[in-house]
Amino acid sequence: MCPYFLFCSTHPPSLHFPLQCSVSCGRGTKQREIACVYQNQTKIEEEHCSHLPRPRTEKACRAQGCPSWKANRWRECSVTCGVGSQNRDVYCRLKGTGRVREDLCDAQQRLAIVQPCQSAECTHYTWVAGEWEDCNATCGEGKRSRKVGCMGAGMTPVQDNYCEPSSQPAPHQACREAPCHYMWTSGQWSQCSSSCGMGYQQRMVSCSVVPSSQALHSYAAAQLSSASTHCPEPHPPGSRPCLLRDCPHTTYWKAGQWSKCSQTCGAGVMERRVECVTSKGHASKHCRPSERPESQAACRDRECQSFASCREVQVRLGVKIDGEYYLKVKSRILQIYCAEMHTDFPKEFVTLRSGQTDNYSEVYGHRLLNPFECPYNGSRRQDCDCRNDYSAAGYTLFHKVRLDLSSLRIMITDLQFSQTLLGRPVPFATAGDCYSAAKCPQGQFSINLIGTGLKVSEATKWTSQGNYVSVKVHRSEDGTRIYGRCGGFCGKCIPQAHNGLLLQVH
């Protein structure tokens, strides 16, 4: 039997109770309880073990690595000039594992996700207005304009969208000149309509507006007005009877009434019918040629206001209604249709006055079962040995065509004022088919510019696209009418890309 003291026991005189590490990650400590016991593990007072070295109650320990906050690179500044902010992504990361739940990281040590940033100093953009131009009215009410532009550093012009639209100075304003005074002006009497017997003479009578005496220095000449209601009554006569001499012969020259002036403004021509007749009104060839009255005469109803584009009409006159307006095209006044006048980019169109039946494009839909034939001498027959299944087939009529005023080219793919009666829309001046490979074209196009003041330029040529294409284009002597037959197996013709459908003032 051992003595009462523990050290005589072959077993250690103390009992340890180890605990877990004090932290779940990183460095911590482990602690344990120390007790003095008999060899039978009965706990006794500690003084009985005072002769023995006391074991440690605590030691360092390391758990797995701790997750920490990580951040990606800062993104670009939110502004290109001045003070802004920039952001970055911040996440909780455990080494060897990657991204983990954010609640595993210390919220108080979380990295910033937003910071201020400053780029270069901002350029200040401001509206600059020029001097007002003279009033566009020679008398009465009108409008005047000025240039308004957006300026940057050093008064450098920039695009208008850099400046604040709501603060833009007005580019136009109403103006009032001295009151208008109206008076009748008359032209010279024409020669008598008959070389003998009773006839009549005509003259141009128009209502003219002239400035008041207070403003005479502002005007070089009178301005004509079509508003004849402003002139005082009575209206001076525009015709009167005349008798040069009694008719010694049984035949004489008979002249009809003058037509209206060919131009509603500016210089034009008026015409009348002149014929040689007998006293009984029958046609004759026995009148003297030297006595034949003029059948044409120059005329000028009023001066034209000259505009170069629909945009200029819109800006200078404040007009926002689509319609026909007179524009100066290559030194001649032409009637042009202005569309989309309610927008900042109105478009110019030529109204095809000959009618849509003379302005069409067709891609023919029938295909020969034997594409190497040209039956019926190339004439079109609905009962041909064909199938009607060409997917590109179409027939389009045109009321107006889009015109690029700077180049005088027709924009053939603008179909705003067209009507497709069959199949797919076909561009202007285009024709084709999938009918035959034997030079037997069935697709047709027609252009008729009579009455527009324009003609197709000699530089306009047609080119083929596709397989076995045949192109046959016929042009009138004056260039106002073009007729084409095109097609192949399968193919079409279009205006050559280099010049396009180029026009000229007629």
260 vs 385 pLDDT, higher one: 385
Q: Contact 32/16 with Cβ under 8 angstroms?
A: yes
pLDDT tens per residue across span 57-96: 888 887 777 899 999 999 988 887 778 899 999 999 988 8
pLDDT tens per residue across span 29-67: 888 888 888 877 888 888 888 888 888 888 888 777 789
**What is the predicted pLDDT for the residue at 304?**
66
Q: What CATH class is the domain 252-301?
A: mainly beta
| Average pLDDT along the chain | 85
Task: State the sign of the Cα–Cα–Cα–Cα dihedral 277, 283, 288, 293.
Answer: positive
Residue 279 CA to residue 31 CA, distance in Å, equals 147
Q: What is the pTM of this model?
A: 0.46
Residue 398 CA to residue 356 CA, distance in Å, equals 5
Residue 182 CA to residue 244 CA, distance in Å, equals 35
Three-state DSSP state, 179: coil
Report residue 404 as tokens: 């690029």
Q: Contact 124/153 with Cβ under 8 angstroms?
A: yes
What separation in angstroms does the CA of 395 have from each of 310, 487, 494?
Answer: 30, 14, 15
Strands (E), 330-441: 332-339, 347-351, 360-363, 366-368, 386-388, 394-398, 400-404, 409-410, 418-423, 431-433
**What is the predicted pLDDT for the residue at 191?**
86
Q: Contact 341/327 with Cβ under 8 angstroms?
A: no
**What is the predicted pLDDT for the residue at 212?**
53
Residue extent(s) of CATH 2.20.100 domains in the chain? 252-301
Report the amino acid identity of residue 6.
L
Q: Contact 127/163 with Cβ under 8 angstroms?
A: yes
Phi, psi of 419 (to 5 degrees): -140, 115
Examine the pLDDT at 218 and tell me if it is beyond 50. no
Residue 207 CA to residue 205 CA, distance in Å, equals 7
Report residue 57 as tokens: 């109650």
Distinct helix (H) and strand (E) counts, the chain: 1, 41
Report the amino acid identity of residue 343.
T
Residue 35 CA to residue 162 CA, distance in Å, equals 85
Q: Which of 126, 125, 115, 118 is nearest to 81 (CA)?
A: 118
What one-character DSSP code corresponds to residue 310? Answer: H
Q: Contact 221/179 with Cβ under 8 angstroms?
A: no
Percent of the chain past pLDDT 90, that is, above it, reads 42
